[in-house]
């Protein structure tokens, strides 16, 4: 069947709540915040004494914030398929919520170029309509897919996978993880994210981690059945450490780098080996815009806390089924204020105030939140009142996690 690439926004993340009748979550007094958890964002408002309860609304939005402004990050599909040739790709955009203008920040032109060449070589072929299917086994399948993994300040980590298969020609399979500067659309290097000295140290540590990981995988393969072990070792021998293939994550509220070694299996399909995160010294941009938004978990992962200024702190605890239960703890209060359940894990918490969210920014945020209802994912409002158990927000699928040794095949289905 015709290749189906996930439409609209990928990897949702950052916002939710509900206010009065206008769909915002402004509280007359108390705390207001955005919580990125699982693949959703929760916009939450609660009073600090628990008398009025809390209101929450979830939506499939991925937001980034830097220099005091909010931006929506999303991936848009481009389908230029024909009956005997499938061409699907994705571009990543960031949209300024206040101004409404969008900027393309990530694009692989390879699929578009192939589609243009096909159109020239086959002038009488008609592009498929949105609901039409391609051939069961098209002669050409070219797909490009982007997964949005993490965003910290103006830096977005993406994983890009491209597959080109054409009858009678050599197949092409590519995979890469990279960090994109949302301000410019350029790929960010380790030197830019940190400094030259830190970048060199991270690269050296990454090479050592790669060598150790290869040895570990080789030992695991020795215990597998002969055929499976042979396939694993064949893929393992193809892996190469690439200092430019990496993403950003966080460890104990500090920045960390995840290098991804790349290779191919016996059939030429891309394989990858994601190394363990390497903590790094926090640069100025991280300390200024990111550090205070990240939860700090206890060593046993039983609880995380995020300070919300002097007024309160957010408490997060895992619950059965994989979700996270949020509560507001206020100094001097007899008990915590329940906020409700969200997805897992909790990624970031953005306290909102008039200094952070002006009236115009609030309207823009509300508009983006309302428009997300058309993305095809679940948008839900939940609320809690004193004396009544909070209703649980519907859970969404967990974020894509890179396996230790993952095989990436064509995104097309035949």
Mean pLDDT calculated for residue range 67-76: 91
The answer on pLDDT for 326 being more than 90 is yes
Phi, psi (deg, nearest 5) at residue 188:
-90, 135
Spatial distance between the Cα atoms of 167 and 140, rounded to a whole number of angstroms: 6
Q: Which of 329, 326, 319, 331 is nearest to 43 (CA)?
A: 326
Give the model's pLDDT for residue 333.
77
Spatial distance between the Cα atoms of 69 and 183, rounded to a whole number of angstroms: 12
Mean pLDDT calculated for residue range 299-315: 89
Mean pLDDT calculated for residue range 138-153: 96
Spatial distance between the Cα atoms of 163 and 143, rounded to a whole number of angstroms: 5
Distances (CA, A) of 393 to 19, 209, 368, 380: 16, 40, 20, 7
Task: Retrieve residue 263's tokens.
Answer: 């290779």
Confidence at 228, pLDDT banded by 50, 70, 90? low
Confidence at 404, pLDDT banded by 50, 70, 90? very low
Confidence at 288, pLDDT banded by 50, 70, 90? very high
Give the model's pLDDT for residue 9.
35
Residue 276: HSE in the Cβ half-sphere, 13 Å Cα cutoff: 9
Residues 6+ apart with CB under 8 A from 309: 351
Rounded to the nearest 10 degrees, what angle do helices 226-238 and 196-222 cross at? 160
pLDDT tens digits, one per residue of 174-197: 999 999 999 999 999 999 999 999
Task: Retrieve residue 40's tokens.
Answer: 């959703």
The answer on pLDDT for 321 being more than 90 is no
Give the model's pLDDT for residue 19.
35
Q: Are 41 and 75 in contact (CB under 8 A)?
A: no
Give the model's pLDDT for residue 226.
64
Q: Are 182 and 188 in contact (CB under 8 A)?
A: no
Confidence at 68, pLDDT banded by 50, 70, 90? confident
Spatial distance between the Cα atoms of 91 and 111, rounded to a whole number of angstroms: 11
Q: Which residue has the higher pLDDT, 22 or 80?
A: 80
Confidence at 309, pLDDT banded by 50, 70, 90? confident
Query: Which class for 129: exposed (0-12), middle (13-18), buried (19 or more C-beta within 10 A)?
Result: exposed
The answer on pLDDT for 406 being more than 50 is no
Give the model's pLDDT for residue 411.
34
pLDDT tens digits, one per residue of 41-52: 999 988 876 566
Positive or negative CA dihedral for 241, 243, 245, 249? positive
The domain segmentation of the chain, as residue ranges, is 31-58+286-384, 72-277+404-408
Q: Which of 93, 94, 86, 243 is nearest to 167 (CA)?
A: 86
Q: Are 281 and 293 in contact (CB under 8 A)?
A: no
Q: Lowest mean pLDDT: which of 22-36, 129-143, 241-255, 323-337?
A: 22-36
Task: Retrieve residue 126's tokens.
Answer: 């008609």
Highest mean pLDDT among 202-206, 269-273, 307-311, 342-346: 202-206
Cα-to-chain-centroid distance, residue 21 = 31
DSSP track, 29-89? SSEEEEEEETTEEEEEEE-SSSSS-EEEEEE---EEEETTEEEEEEEEEEE--BTTEEEEE
pLDDT tens digits, one per residue of 351-376: 887 666 788 888 888 888 888 877 65
Strand partners, 78: 89
Percent pLDDT > 70 in the chain is 79
Give the model's pLDDT for residue 225.
67
Residues 6+ apart with CB under 8 A from 327: 314, 315, 317, 336, 337, 338, 339
Q: Which residue has the higher pLDDT, 244 or 225?
A: 244
Q: Which of 364, 396, 366 is nearest to 24 (CA)?
A: 366
Give the model's pLDDT for residue 21.
39
């Amino acid at each position: 069947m015709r290749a189906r690439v996930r439409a609209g926004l990928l990897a949702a993340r950052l916002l939710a709540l509900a206010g009065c009748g206008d769909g915002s979550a402004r509280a007359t007094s108390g705390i207001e915040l955005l919580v990125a958890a699982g693949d959703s964002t929760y916009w939450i408002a609660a009073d600090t004494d628990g008398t009025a309860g809390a209101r929450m609304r979830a939506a499939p939005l991925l937001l980034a914030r830097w220099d005091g402004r909010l931006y929506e990050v999303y991936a848009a599909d481009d389908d230029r398929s024909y009956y005997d040739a499938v061409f699907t790709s994705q571009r990543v955009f960031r949209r300024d919520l206040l101004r409404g203008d969008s900027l393309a920040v990530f694009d692989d032109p390879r699929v578009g170029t192939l589609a243009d060449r096909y159109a020239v070589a086959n002038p009488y072929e008609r592009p498929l309509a949105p609901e039409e299917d391609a051939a069961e086994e098209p002669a050409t399948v070219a797909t490009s897919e982007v997964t949005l993994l993490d965003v910290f300040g103006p830096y977005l980590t993406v994983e890009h996978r491209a597959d080109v298969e054409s009858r009678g020609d050599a197949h092409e399979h590519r995979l890469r993880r990279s960090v994109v500067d949302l301000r410019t659309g350029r790929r960010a290097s380790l030197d830019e994210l940190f400094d030259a000295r830190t970048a060199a140290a991270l690269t050296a540590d990454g090479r050592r981690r790669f060598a150790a990981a290869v040895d570990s995988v080789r030992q695991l393969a020795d215990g597998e059945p002969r055929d499976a072990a042979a396939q694993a070792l064949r893929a393992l021998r193809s892996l190469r450490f690439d200092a430019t293939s990496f993403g950003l994550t966080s460890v104990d509220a500090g920045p960390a780098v995840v290098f991804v070694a790349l290779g191919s299996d016996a059939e030429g399909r891309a394989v990858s080996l994601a190394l363990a995160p390497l903590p790094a010294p926090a640069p100025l941009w991280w300390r200024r815009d990111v550090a205070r938004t990240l939860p700090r978990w206890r060593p046993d992962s039983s609880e995380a806390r995020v300070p919300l200024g002097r007024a309160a702190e957010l408490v997060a605890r895992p619950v059965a089924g994989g979700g996270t239960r949020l509560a507001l703890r206020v100094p001097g209060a007899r008990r915590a204020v329940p906020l409700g359940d969200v997805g897992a894990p909790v990624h970031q918490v953005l306290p909102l105030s008039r200094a952070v969210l002006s009236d115009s920014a609030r309207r823009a945020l509300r508009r983006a939140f309302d428009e997300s209802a058309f993305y095809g994912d679940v948008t839900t409002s939940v609320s809690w009142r004193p004396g009544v158990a909070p209703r649980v927000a519907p859970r969404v699928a967990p974020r894509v996690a890179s396996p230790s040794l993952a095989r990436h095949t064509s995104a097309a289905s035949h």
